[in-house]
Structure 1
Amino acid sequence: MDPFSSEGELLTIHNAFHGGQYSAVINHDTSGLSAENSIPSTVYKLRSQIAIGQAEEVAIELEGQDNPDLAVLKAFAEYSQGSTENAVKIVESLVGSSSDNATVQIIGATILHAEGRSEEALTLLSRHQGSLEAVALVVQIRLSQNRTDLALKEVLNAKRWAQDSLLVNLAESWVGLRIGGEKYQQAYYVYEELAQTPSTSAPRTLIGQAVAELHLGRLPEAEVALQQALEKNPKHEDALANMIVLSILAGKEIDEYLSSLQNTAPSHPFLTDVAQKSELFDKSAAKYRAKA
């Protein structure tokens, strides 16, 4: 077996997964992969199943697995179904015993961050050995902490050894959207190029393109990209959330998109953030009500 063809095939799966082409990953024939690349390809397939709502099937399939890669994916599948307490316990155990495992680092950090334990997630990710996904996740966490400076530092370090990587380009565009100015246009170019590539032209890419268009004030173009994303997946929660934002900016009705998002993902960050801000507004407004 040609190891180079096997590596190239794994890279194709890697790019398809991070481009949001989950069905393509699941259906990809991996019978020709080397033994070394078999586990990583299986991990991508199982993560793709979880991403499209097949977490229960994955959890059942992985019952009793003690391989760290598969055990942490079972925990992730359970977490995705709402069994958070047990999933977190499994992750904590695996972090203690297998913190050098790349899948444990990525999935473990994802769950820890979701639980509000971001510093623990960053500590775990700091153990990675040349993992671009770990770099991308660190960037996401730093941006969520409003530490754009540290996110940018992470990207610049990664560019020294992975200049043309899909994940590095995406991470740079995330930071660019936060920095603003001319970086908006640069981020747009990244997403525009990805949208023209079959392996990465998934809703996620179109949403990124639309967000860049929104920042550039190009509302009609942003709407086209979001409509394309919703045509590919009518229930894509991030596409719905951004369509609500666009509709507000354009002075259009939001009821249809808001209802769809509430039904599809009632705990989506957009909805919880709006609810929190609404509550804070009501509390502030109450202080200025005329006394009877």
Structure 2
Amino acid sequence: MDPFSTEGELMNLQNYFYQGQYQEAIDFDTAGLSPENKLPARVLSLRAQIALGQAEDVIADVQGEKDVELVAVGALAELAAGNESKALKIAEKLSTESGDNGAVQVLAGIVLQAAGKSEEALALLSNHQGNLEAVALIVQIHLEQNRTDLAIKEVSAARSWAQDSLLVNLAESWVGMRVGGERYQQGFYVFEELAQAPSTSSTQSLISQAVAEIHLGRLDEAEAALQQALSKEPKNAEAIANSLVLNIIAGKDAKQLTSELQSVAPNHHFLVDLQEKSELFDKAATKYSAKVTA
């Protein structure tokens, strides 16, 4: 059985991780776990460390490990540390030699997708046997490819055998945010429930709720959710980026938030995209420059 789709002993730890409660995942007491669940629990804890910016510590922790799950964690840590070529080399080797392993599918899949190898990532992930995290990653990749139709198909298939899963609910909400219309409200309900429940509230839940609120035109509510997120994590790049977008929509000055985002995450996709658009605008503008004749 794939440990990454196992319910029961690992459910609380998995939920902490999937909801972005990374410190809770790290602090989770694993003393009572059965021997077969010790390794997947360690993998989740290490991934939580990576998410909190501790990639170098994780690289040191898993150095010399033989378990393919931990080697895969090392690849993800190398990616987070900026060593993309090394991460990709490890991920490609793992996908060839251990592509039937659930942890390898997900972690190597993340590395492959980050390197722009979407088809290779999808091919690896398609080997899953009831691995809901693999399903969620497939949905994310399809959305990045603007293949909403395939994302919808993937969620519908997963819903038939994992109806009450948190990951399926989240994946369905991601798709809903892309489809729009009444699906914005459906996504909002999922994110709001996660953000308001004391046992599941996290910065990521609040950010997701705020994004739904923005799409629904409820800017004051979105601002309140983002302020709450920033009170939890003042340097959270996604909270800053979405606050920046909200300010622009609301007609407010966004210079300070832009500066904060540049300081916290200079390579954030929002800033990269903004720079590319600015350069394209400047290039187009040169074609229409006024010509002064003597």
Same fold flag (TM > 0.5): yes
SS of equivalent residue, structure 1 residue 227: helix
Give the letter aligned to residue 130 of structure 1. Answer: G
Instruction: Using the TM superposition, give the Cα deviation of residue 7 of structure 1 relative to its aligned residue in structure 2, in angstroms.
Output: 5.0
Question: What are the equivalent positions in structure 2 for 1:151-230 lying under 5 Å apart?
Answer: 151-230=151-230
* Closer, same or farther: CA 57–201 of 1 in aligned 2, 3 Å: same
Distance 1:155 1:215 in 2: 22
Question: What TM-score do you get using the length of structure 1 for normalisation?
Answer: 0.96
Q: Do the aligned partners of 1:18 and 1:200 also contact (CA within 8 Å) in 2?
A: no
Q: Do the aligned partners of 1:21 and 1:199 also contact (CA within 8 Å) in 2?
A: no
Give the letter aligned to residue 264 of structure 1. Answer: V
1:9 maps to what in 2? 9
Distance 1:283 1:124 in 2: 40
Instruction: Using the TM superposition, give the Cα deviation of residue 242 of structure 1 relative to its aligned residue in structure 2, in angstroms.
Output: 0.4
Q: Do the aligned partners of 1:72 and 1:90 also contact (CA within 8 Å) in 2?
A: yes
Question: What TM-score do you get using the length of structure 2 for normalisation?
Answer: 0.95
2:3 maps to what in 1? none
Q: Do the aligned partners of 2:75 and 2:111 also contact (CA within 8 Å) in 1?
A: no
Distance 1:138 1:79 in 2: 19
Distance 1:174 1:240 in 2: 20
1:254 maps to what in 2? 254
1:76 maps to what in 2? 76
1:3 maps to what in 2? none
Give the letter aligned to residue 90 of structure 1. Answer: I
Q: Do the aligned partners of 2:20 and 2:203 also contact (CA within 8 Å) in 1?
A: yes
Distance 1:13 1:137 in 2: 19
2:283 maps to what in 1? 283
* Matched residue count: 287
2:27 maps to what in 1? 27
Cα RMSD of the aligned pairs, angstroms, is 1.1
Unaligned 5+ residue runs, structure 1?
1-5
Question: What are the equivalent positions in structure 2 for 1:51-70 lying under 5 Å apart?
Answer: 51-70=51-70
Unaligned 5+ residue runs, structure 2?
1-5
SS of equivalent residue, structure 1 residue 271: helix
